[in-house]
A and B are shown apart, each in its own frame.
Chain A
Amino acid sequence: MKKFETFTGIAAPMPLVNIDTDMIIPKQFLKTIKRSGLGVHAFDEMRFDRDGNENPDFILNKPAYRETSILVAGDNFGCGSSREHAPWALEDFGIKVVVSTSFADIFFNNCFKNGMLPIVLPQEQVDLLMADSEKGENARMTVDLEAQEITTSDGEVIKFDVDPFRKHCLLNGLDDIGLTLEKGDAIQAFEANAAQARPWV
């Protein structure tokens, strides 16, 4: 996994609440056996008409937002299906950070597995960032994971919380499976005990 490094990028406002993973990547694009190349289909049904023409009203199609790397989104972002194709599509599109008042559990987990950072903030701070992101190309925010800070285009600094283990993994680009396999002895010990306690499993 790539290391998460401090960056400055364009933020786009997506105030709609309950943006689900079916919206982020519709099912017809799940018939792939690869992880890559899904960015062109991100938000497909909102972004394109049936003939594949861009919908000019969709935020990420507007000239100022074509290079977006931060989404400022409405509440409960990523709800619904567990499809990891959703963060794959966003990541491939260029999104590194999503900010919202809350995220659905599985989507939230999936982001960290793909070097992306979902940030939960209180309503007032999301509102402030939403307003900042309305400034189009002038809405360049800086996200510093090490310091746990977002700096708005006006220089205002907003602190955010992140789980220390997940932060460590993102900053160092660590592979979960490698880390867990280092604890192989603990897993084997558990299995030996469980075979005694619950042999029917």
Chain B
Amino acid sequence: MKFAIPTLIISFLLDGVVSNFVSLNTNFFAPLFSLVAITIVYPYFNKNSNDYLKTVGVIGILYDFVYTDTMILNLAIFLVLGLLVKYFHSIFNNNIINNIIWLIIIIIIYRLITYLILVLSGYLTFDINVLFKSIYSSLILNVIYCLIVYFLLDYLNYKFKIKKRGW
């Protein structure tokens, strides 16, 4: 947990900072660093999934308050995604390839749920191309960030002799 929470906090703040450097309707670089951190840090909570889910919930509600003004939408979605990450870790090995695959699945689910809720509530009109664009525009940057954070955490944990464990 030594590096897990700082990673989540830094990723959360970077979501806001990096948004200033990418085009508003970017085709390839939409940041979702909080989700990347949620996907990667689970093993660093040392089998304590309650702590993990609580932290994910806090990040979700902060995301609501600070970035989207939606109150509980992201809290609920982040918790669902947190449970999904926990499930992935319970049946698959924790390695970089799996992490990238999980991240892609998480991004797809996140975009799909938010889009469907916004369409059902009448906020957006349904357009499948917009949904596809939202997904593929979020992949490149976040996969790169995933690689960086994964190896950085691995290095730091190796250096400080911290064990990471899957569930």
Do A and B form a real pair?
A: no
Please give the residue numbers on chain A whose beta carbons come within 8 Å of chain B beta carbons, in ascending order.
none
